[in-house]
Each structure stands twice: as structure tokens, then as C-alpha cells.
Structure 1
Amino acid sequence: MSFSNDVRTEIAKSIIDRDRQFACLYGVLLYCRTFTAEQIVLQSESDVYAKLIPSLFQSVFHWKLLPDARTAGRDNNSAVVSFRITDPEQIGQICSTYHIHPEKREIRLSNLVNNSLSSFLAGVYFGCGSVMDPNKEYHLEFNTPSELLCSDLQKLLRSIGVSGGCILRKNMYVLYLKDSEHIEDTLTYMGAQQCTIELMNIKIRKDMRNKANRVRNCDEANINKVVSAAMRQTEDIRWIMKCGRMETLSPELRELAQLRLENPELSLKELGELLSVPLGRSGVNHRFQKIAAIAEELRSHAVHSE
């Protein structure tokens, strides 16, 4: 089962009284893709949705003849459940009850009573919403059928402190959320508290993995720096030896040079601990700088002599 369907399952359990059912069905109907004076079509791939819709119509309208559910397959082996309403009397009752104008659908807050706004948003999610698996990406979106409905929904989400962007995709106005905290707030508001907790746990696990990766990458970078520095230092020392100038080095530099040749894998700090008079990292680095300067001078003389 997908995370998006887990959200549907959880919020469906919160639609328990008639006010919530009324608001939820309003959200489903208002944001469905097809709503005209001739027909209303409600579609979803969710089994939860397929079970919820008849119960909502029964609670709100008490129809003897409920919309029939029809199932059709898709190329990706998923099944789409459709509820089609073509009876003019039923469509008229829906429009009258919810004050919906098919040619200009917009949110009417007067339809929402007794703090049922959260159930309305749940209905909108049932009708046109989806959320990505947070293990892959933080993304929640609503595929709204018009620019006006997209704008209305954007304003509604702002009223609960949630910001989202809008884009036009395949003739649908998509309102999307990318911020994980805004997605958490939206899920919680709709009634999917357990899914919110799961998303937060996933964030914690991903953050821990990212920190572990950063530490590992940092360790690898430090190792590479140590190896590169050791190779440069060894090259300098061998050049000084090739030029027959080791004996001209001070005893401190000769000791360090010998230790480097014998221990190419050690860090500056570790080399400093092996000196007859232990020295810190910066002190060891300063001595290697002197060795590098001597080697560079000898290279320069070699070039000029050629």
C-alpha cells in the first residue's frame, strides 16, 4: 500500500458525523475533474475512496439509488473506480445543496459549519490529491480543475499557515507543497496524524543517514589530503637526497624527513608524536614548509643550470 493511500485510509476514519461527511463530500464534488450540468464523474484508484463515496452520498442525500461504481483497468495494471451521475434531478440537488455553479466552481465557506473545514480539505484530497512516498521525496499536490479553484485552495491553506506553489500541467492547475513541515501540517489538519508521525520518523532516519554520509565523506577527504601531502613531502625529501643535500639540513629537519620516508601513511600529528622532542601538528607543518622551500630552491637551481 502506498503512503498516499495510507493517508486516505486514516483520514477516512475521521469522517464520522454528518457535518464532517457533508463537508468531505463537498470537497470531493467541488474538486472532481468532471462537473457539468449534464454529468458528474468522480474517479480514483483508491479502494478507500470506492468505499467512502457511497456512504457519503447516503449520509448527505439519502438517495434510494446511489451512483454506480464502475471499474476500468489502466495500462499500468491499476484499476480506476468511477462514479458517474447523469440524473438531472440528482445533479440539480447537488448544485442546490452545495450552491455549486458548474460553469464557475468556487469554495463557499458558508457550506462549512462546526469546524468542518478540515473534513472539506480531506474531501479535496480524496478528489484530487496525492502525496509522494517521503522516503523518496517530500511532495504533496492537488490537481485542481480550474485556476479559480486552485487559487481558492491556496488561500485556504494559507489560512492554516501552509504555503504552496501553482503550476499548469496537462490542462490541470496543480497546487503543490515541497516543504516537509507544511506537508506535515496539512496531513495533521486533514486528520492523518499517524501518517504525519511516520513522515517525521522518516525525516529523522534520512537526516541521520545524511549526517553519517557527511562524516564519511569528510573522513575520506581528510585521508586524501593526508595522502596527497605525504606524497608531496616525500617527493621533496627524495629530491633533496638526489641533490646530495640531506646533510645540509638541520638535525630537526633530517629527523622529520627520515620519519616521513619510513612512515608515508602517518598524519602530521602522528609524525610529531614520534619526534625525539614531540611537536604539535602546526610545528611539524612548519618544518615541512622549510623542507619544501629547500627542495624548490634546489629544483630552481637545477633548471637554471640546464
Structure 2
Amino acid sequence: MSFTADVKFQICQEELDDSDSKVQLCALFLMKGSVHINWQGMYLSFQSENAAISKHVFKLFKSMYDVNPRLSILKKMQLKKNNIYRIQIYEKAQEILEDLQIMTDTGLHSCPPSKMIRSEKKARAFLQGCFLGSGSINDPKTTNYHLEMSTSDEHFANLIVKAMEKFYIPAKITIRKNNYVVYIKAGEKIEDFLRLCNASKALMDFVETRSLRDFYNSMSRLDNCTLANEVKTIKAGKKQLEYIEALEKNKTKVKVSEKIQRVMEIRKKYPEASLNELCDECYLEYGEVISKSGMKHRLNKIKEMAMEFMEEKE
């Protein structure tokens, strides 16, 4: 089972009251349902490749409206050949649409009314329905953090964004293949979404994976920083050896103090040592306590004296 399917399965297991069930079913039907008219009259159809969602929708229609939905299972003949679960309702079609506020005196609507999600409780049920209908979350173990829901209606997409704002989850909208895709990329905000959906197990898996990834990424950045510092130290040491060589070749032309001479000898012995390590070696070799800034000052002095001869050579 994919991570998305696991989240949807957990959402379907939650017990909702009739009021929240109505909001969730409204969002789900607008995402995946359709209205048909034939010689017998109006009927409703809902189809999904997810067995848990299909079972959930079947139970909601049956318990809320006392109807007998027809369930048929179709086999896809292309790609993965998944099952398609189709639910058809021939009873009380108009009554159901009016109760879900999909049909009003002004006709059929492709987006639920804003008043339906005015409270946080209703907004939460609405977002659950939207995610069940068209949502997906990338598996945090294999790729970047990404959650999205899509709809063909721009107003519907804006309503999803507004519902998320109630829970301080900032979402953005992009257009993809004539659909409006609402998406989140921040890991902590995806955690908040899973939390409001009551997908507890998926939330724990996501948090654990995210914590491990962030830890390993931090370690990797630290290793890269350490490596960069080591390369920098080696390059600096190599250059300082060139300055020392220039001074030694011209020792009759320049006066080098004992303190500078000590640093030159230590650097030659330890060409890849850092400043702190040079300080330690200087103490062990000569018993002289020297600070990091003091060591840096002496090395700069060596460079300053050597540059005169290196420029002359050039």
C-alpha cells in the first residue's frame, strides 16, 4: 500500500457525525461524482480505484439517505489493470443533491457554498473529503515532501486554500493540465494536515522519516563543511610552505626573528595541520604558548616578508 493509500484508509476509518459526514461526502462527490439523466430520470454515480474510499462512500450514502446503492467492479484493461469501483444511486437523487447543497434553486454547482465550511470542524471534514477525492502525498522515504489536491474549478481550489488557512497551513495553487492544483511542500505543514485528518499512524511514520532525513541531511552538511575546511587548510599550508621556501632561499637578505623561525619549522613538519594544531605543536616543541590569532599573525608576517622576493622572482 502506498503512503497516500495508507493515509486515505486511515481517514475512512474515522467515525463522523451526520453533519460532518455530509460536508465530507459533498466534497468527495464534487471531486469524483457525476449526475446523469436518462429515460428513468436522474441518478448519481461515483467511481474510484480505491476500495476503502468506495466502501466508505457506499456506507455514507446508505446510512445517511436510506438508499440502496449499486456497486459494480470494472477491470481496467490498460497500464496497471486496477479495479474501478462504481457506485450508482437511482433513489432520491435530487433529494441527496439538495441536502449536500450541490443543487439549489439556481441549478447544479461545482463548488460547495462557503458557509458550509465556516467552522473549523466543518472545514476539517471538507479537507478530508477533498483529500479522499483527489489528494496525494509523496512518500517521505523516497522523495521530497509534497502534498496536493486538484480540481477543475478555480473557486473550489480557492475554497480549499481558505479552509487550510483556518489551520495555519499556507497552500499555493498552480495550474496543471487544465486543473487547479493546491499544494504544500513544507514538511511541518504536511504533518499539520495529517494531524487535522486524524491519520495518526501516517503522521507518526511521516514524523519519524522526516526526523531521520533531516538528521542525515544535517550530518551530510556537517561532513561537507568539515571537508571544505580541511581542503582550505591544506591549500593554505601548501601556500605557506612556498612562502617559507622563498624566505629560506633569501635568508641572507632578510632577518627572521626566533618566533617566526619556530613557526616556519613547525609548518614544515606539519604541512597539513590547522592553526590550532600548529599552536599545540609549537607548545610541545618549544614550550611556547601561542593563541590561534597569534599563530595567524606570524603566518601572515611570513607571507608579507616572502612576497617581496616572490614578486622579484616574477
Residue by residue over 1:72-102, the C-alpha shift from the partner in whole angstroms, topping out at 9 and shown as x without a partner, is 2542x26152425484x55434323323137
Of 304, 307, 312, which residue of structure 2 is paired with 1:293?
Answer: 304
Alignment partners' CA distance in 2, 1:140 and 1:176: 5
Higher deviation after alignment, 196-205 or 233-242? 196-205
User: Is residue 2:61 matched to residue 1:50?
Assistant: no
In the superposition, relative to structure 1, how do residues 181 and 256 fare at CA in structure 2: closer, same or farther (>3 Å)?
Answer: closer
- Secondary structure of the structure 2 residue equivalent to 1:271: helix
Alignment partners' CA distance in 2, 1:169 and 1:42: 23
In the superposition, relative to structure 1, how do residues 297 and 30 fare at CA in structure 2: closer, same or farther (>3 Å)?
Answer: same
Contact residue 166 and residue 173 of structure 1 kept, 8 A = yes
Superposition map of 1:1-306 within 5 A: 1-32=1-32, 35-38=34-37, 41-75=45-79, 77=80, 79-83=82-86, 85=88, 87=90, 91-101=93-103, 103-108=108-113, 115-135=121-141, 136-245=143-252, 248-275=255-282, 276=286, 277-303=288-314
In the superposition, relative to structure 1, how do residues 108 and 71 fare at CA in structure 2: closer, same or farther (>3 Å)?
Answer: farther
Residue by residue over 1:149-207, the C-alpha shift from the partner in whole angstroms, topping out at 9 and shown as x without a partner, is 11222222222332211122112111112233332222222221332232222222222
Alignment partners' CA distance in 2, 1:115 and 1:268: 61
Contact residue 58 and residue 87 of structure 2 kept, 8 A = no
| 1:294 shift after superposition | 1.6
TM score, norm. by length of structure 1: 0.86
- Secondary structure of the structure 2 residue equivalent to 1:137: coil
Which structure has more relative contact order (CA 8 Å, sep 6+)? It is 1
- Secondary structure of the structure 2 residue equivalent to 1:94: helix
TM score, norm. by length of structure 2: 0.84
Gap regions ≥5 residues in structure 1: none
Alignment partners' CA distance in 2, 1:159 and 1:96: 26
Residue by residue over 1:253-274, the C-alpha shift from the partner in whole angstroms, topping out at 9 and shown as x without a partner, is 2222122112212222222223
In the superposition, relative to structure 1, how do residues 283 and 65 fare at CA in structure 2: closer, same or farther (>3 Å)?
Answer: closer
| 1:228 shift after superposition | 0.8
Alignment partners' CA distance in 1, 2:162 and 2:277: 62
- Secondary structure of the structure 2 residue equivalent to 1:92: helix
- Secondary structure of the structure 1 residue equivalent to 2:265: helix
| Paired residue type of 2:300 | Q
Alignment partners' CA distance in 2, 1:114 and 1:176: 20
Higher deviation after alignment, 241-250 or 98-107? 241-250
Alignment partners' CA distance in 1, 2:78 and 2:20: 32
Contact residue 138 and residue 178 of structure 1 kept, 8 A = yes
Alignment partners' CA distance in 2, 1:67 and 1:145: 26
| 1:40 shift after superposition | 5.0
RMSD: 2.8
In the superposition, relative to structure 1, how do residues 193 and 283 fare at CA in structure 2: closer, same or farther (>3 Å)?
Answer: same
| 1:35 shift after superposition | 2.5
- Secondary structure of the structure 2 residue equivalent to 1:70: strand
Contact residue 21 and residue 59 of structure 1 kept, 8 A = no
In the superposition, relative to structure 1, how do residues 266 and 245 fare at CA in structure 2: closer, same or farther (>3 Å)?
Answer: farther
- Secondary structure of the structure 2 residue equivalent to 1:217: helix
| 1:247 shift after superposition | 7.7
Alignment partners' CA distance in 2, 1:185 and 1:254: 63
Residue by residue over 1:29-60, the C-alpha shift from the partner in whole angstroms, topping out at 9 and shown as x without a partner, is 1222x534447553433232233232222212
- Secondary structure of the structure 1 residue equivalent to 2:76: strand
The percentage of aligned residue pairs carrying the same residue is: 25
Alignment partners' CA distance in 1, 2:279 and 2:193: 58
